[in-house]
Amino acid sequence: MKCVRCLTDNAAKVAEAPDQSKAWEVFVCNRCNFVWRSTEEPEVIEPEKRDPWFQLAGVEIENIPVFSPVPPLKK
């Protein structure tokens, strides 16, 4: 399934409303870790309505900055 943020085919359903009400479903993208619920506002969960500033379409994961670099292993 397509992620609404990075637009790759890496998203999957991970949860349903726990009270059996079928009120909503939750999806996670395993690539960019975006998470959304089926009942959220269109500007959050519809790619064409999302603010482009927050999209990660076409962004390579390894180009996303790291705040805490992995230190060298100490022997």
Partner 1 sequence: MEGKSLRGFLEKLEKAGQLVHYTDEVMPEPDIRRIGRAAVDIAAGNTGPAVLLENIKGYKGKRLAINVLGTWANNAVMLGMDKDTPLKDQFFEFARRWAGGSDGELKWIKDAPCQEVKITEDINLYEILPLFRVNKYDAGFYFSKASVVTRDPEEPDNIDKQNVGMYRVQVQGPDTLGIQVLPFHDGGIHLRKAEEMGKALPVAVCLGVHPVISLMASAPLQYDQSEYKYAAAFMGAPQILTKTLAANLDIPAYTEIVLEGEFVPRGRFVEGPFGEFPGSYSGSRRQFRIKLNAVTTRKNPIFENLYVGRPWTEHDTLIGLNTSATLYFQLRETMPEVKAVNAIYQHGLTIIVATDNRFGAYAKTVGMRLASTPHGTSYAKNIILVDGDVDPFNLVQVMWALSTRVRPQKDVIVIPNTPGMPLDPCSEPPGIGGKLIIDATTPTAPEISREVRMVDSIPESEPYQKILVELQKAAAR
Residue from 18, 47, 49, 58 touching partner 1 (CB under 8 A): that is 18
What 3-state DSSP class applies to 15? strand
Residue from 7, 16, 47, 57 touching partner 1 (CB under 8 A): that is 16
Q: Which two tokens stand for residue 32?
A: 């960019």
Per-residue contact flags (x/-) with partner 1 for residues 35 to 54, judged by CB under 8 A: xxx-xxx-xx------x--x
Q: Please classify residue 21 by burial: count the beta carbons closer than 10 Å to its beta carbon, then call 0-12 exposed, 13-18 middle and 19+ buried.
A: exposed
Q: Does 28 bind partner 1 (CB under 8 A)?
A: yes
Q: Which two tokens stand for residue 33?
A: 């870790």
The residue ranges that bind partner 1 (CB under 8 A) are: 5, 14-19, 21, 23-24, 26, 28, 30-37, 39-41, 43-44, 51, 54, 56, 61, 64-68, 70-74
